[in-house]
Structure 1
Amino acid sequence: MEVNGTFYGLQQPKSFLRWRAESPPDFIFTLKAPRYITHILRLGDAKGAVANFFASGPLALGPKLGPILWQLPPSFRFSADRLAAFLELLPHDTAAATKLAAQHDRPIKGGAYLTAEENLPVRHALEIRHDSFRTPKFIELLRAHDAALVVADAVEWPCFQDVTSDFIYARLHGSEELYASRYTTEALDNWARRFRSWANGREPRDAKRIGGRSPQRHKRDVFVFFDNDAKVHAPFDAIRLAKRLGVVIRRPGKDFRPPKQNAM
């Protein structure tokens, strides 16, 4: 599940603890990072804000903590120096995230959560929406800092498909009408083929890359989210894709209450 509520404001540790308790054992939560960091600070001087985010409860998810999604605004142009400084801040395991969270610079509602039960990986994915990122330097930075480039299928933004980490993070926003258009049978067949290729350590033959082909590797985790929910196509397209991939969609328990959220 991609939690969008964390984009609009810091949550409380008790919410993360509840989500963990109410979801199946193998359920994974991916968290959309606060827009304060991506849209207001625009990744600059962000150490305190990133520390506040991690202190607000993500560590309470334990092994259910999935990738952190950093979504940049459409007006954000590529800056190698700014991006490199930001990527350098990001923790890549829960031990490092705990140390960073301890440096929070504002009171955390509900009390800061600064405990990691075990040292687990923390993954990061970056979604860009400006064509100025079409440069090999961008791909080099992501690979150097082990951050995934989000495969974002949309009408208005570029869709780059370079593999820059050990996992794939895809957001399907609707390729004909943003947030609204339904995916055709042919489109889902093509996406299923791409996801299967990425999962098996290869790259699709039609991958749209900025840099060169990445080295083949063992199987990768693939996270896929449909964001074409304006006309309620998202859940049905997800089910159709899952059938093509032989994947069982896991849902939280019947009492699960996620925060109110709007997709972006």
Structure 2
Amino acid sequence: MSLERIHMGNSASRRIRVGVGGWTFEPWRDNFYPKGLPHRQELHYASRQLTAIEINGTFYSTFKPAQFAKWRDETPEGFVFAVKANRFTTHRRDLATAAESIERFVGSGLAELRDKLGPILWQLMPSTAFVRQNIEALFRLLPKEVDGRPLRHVLEARHDSFVCREYLDLARRYGVATVHADTDKYPSIADPDSDLAYLRLMRTEPERATGYAPGDIARWAEGCEAWVAGGPKREVFAFFISGAKERAPAAAMALLKKLGRR
């Protein structure tokens, strides 16, 4: 099935977005991008093979509005970016002190993505444990909109203490979704009552052409389809991150192909 069919399929398929983290990775120039493709055309190409990309450059650097507008214009209609928040917003002990950093990040030009702006990912340090007062302080600082555009927030909690009902109840109260990570390194937190499933799939293996075994790809496809079937507002963002990163694009395309066979 063609990618265009996946992009323009029924409403359920459009609510499942699949991609990778970033688009600039030298090993992809050997096994994903066509030989000789100019680096400046990599986003153009990647956005026509995938349905979403998690921008991770924003975690390390600050970009200007013109750069977000450029990314928007290089990608096709229906494509969506998730944006990883700058590390200075969350990589601190006292999250209540993050107001200025959050305001600076959100105001740096995210609104220029317009309809292509998807969830914002807020990644905590692995050492950040669940202390209700600290996490609630962060949630209170997350803006509901930017330039009149509603914002959706996702927390990546990487400490086992977040695996508890108190945390999920708190996140739901503030409308914050939680990353479900496929890894042994961090907790895999599932919130069955959320409308947004944000998957970071980290088990790609270098010896597999598609990163994950076909049976695992099939199971993730079934899970994504079952999730969006649970309600008309439900969405999935699935990103192949870390692991054998050189296999991430092939894994994402394998999942898209599996989803397109419905």
Is this a same-fold pair by TM over 0.5?
Answer: yes
d(CA) in 1 for partners of 2:81, 2:54: 6
- Partner deviation per Cα, 1:177-202 (whole Å, 9 max, x = no partner): 9xxx931122112111111111111x
- Change in 2 beyond 3 A, CA 1:71/1:145: same
d(CA) in 2 for partners of 1:173, 1:240: 15
Deviation at 1:218, TM superposition (A): 2.8
SS for the counterpart of 1:44 is: helix
Partner residue of 2:240? 226
Partner residue of 1:239? 253
Deviation at 1:167, TM superposition (A): 1.5
d(CA) in 2 for partners of 1:83, 1:175: 31
1:132 has 2:158 as partner: no
Match of 1:218, as an amino acid?
P
- Partner deviation per Cα, 1:38-94 (whole Å, 9 max, x = no partner): 11355231111111001211111111111000111211111111111111111223x
1:59 has 2:73 as partner: no
d(CA) in 2 for partners of 1:42, 1:194: 36
Partner residue of 1:71? 123
Which gives a bigger RCO, structure 1 or 2 (Cα 8 Å, sep 6+)? 2
TM-score when scaled to structure 1? 0.73
Determine which of 92, 116, 123 is the counterpart of 1:40: 92
Determine which of 65, 68, 81 is the counterpart of 1:16: 68
Partner residue of 1:86? 138
- Partner deviation per Cα, 1:185-227 (whole Å, 9 max, x = no partner): 22112111111111111xxxxxxxxxxxxxxx33411111001
Report the structure, 1 or 2, having the larger strand content.
Answer: 2
1:125-204 superposed matches below 5 A:
125-174=154-203, 182-201=211-230
SS for the counterpart of 1:68 is: strand
SS for the counterpart of 2:232 is: coil
Match of 1:66, as an amino acid?
G
Contact conserved, 1:153 with 1:159, CA < 8 A, in 2?
yes
Contact conserved, 1:172 with 1:225, CA < 8 A, in 2?
yes
Gaps of 5+ in 1: 98-115, 202-216, 248-264
TM-score when scaled to structure 2? 0.73
SS for the counterpart of 1:14 is: helix
d(CA) in 2 for partners of 1:169, 1:89: 21
Report the structure, 1 or 2, having the larger helix content.
Answer: 2
Match of 1:76, as an amino acid?
T
Match of 2:164, as an amino acid?
T
d(CA) in 2 for partners of 1:164, 1:45: 30
d(CA) in 2 for partners of 1:144, 1:121: 17
SS for the counterpart of 2:149 is: coil
SS for the counterpart of 2:246 is: coil
Partner residue of 1:121? 150
d(CA) in 1 for partners of 2:184, 2:259: 25
Partner residue of 1:259? none
Gaps of 5+ in 2: 1-52
d(CA) in 1 for partners of 2:189, 2:137: 22
d(CA) in 2 for partners of 1:164, 1:31: 23
Q: What is the root-mean-square deviation of aligned Cα atoms in Å?
A: 2.2
SS for the counterpart of 1:20 is: helix
- Change in 2 beyond 3 A, CA 1:176/1:159: farther
- Partner deviation per Cα, 1:84-140 (whole Å, 9 max, x = no partner): 1111111223xxx3xxxxxxxxxxxxxxxxxx3xx3321001111111111111000
Match of 1:37, as an amino acid?
T
Give the ranges of 4+ consecutive aligned residues of structure 1 lying more than 3 Å apart after TM superposition: 228-231
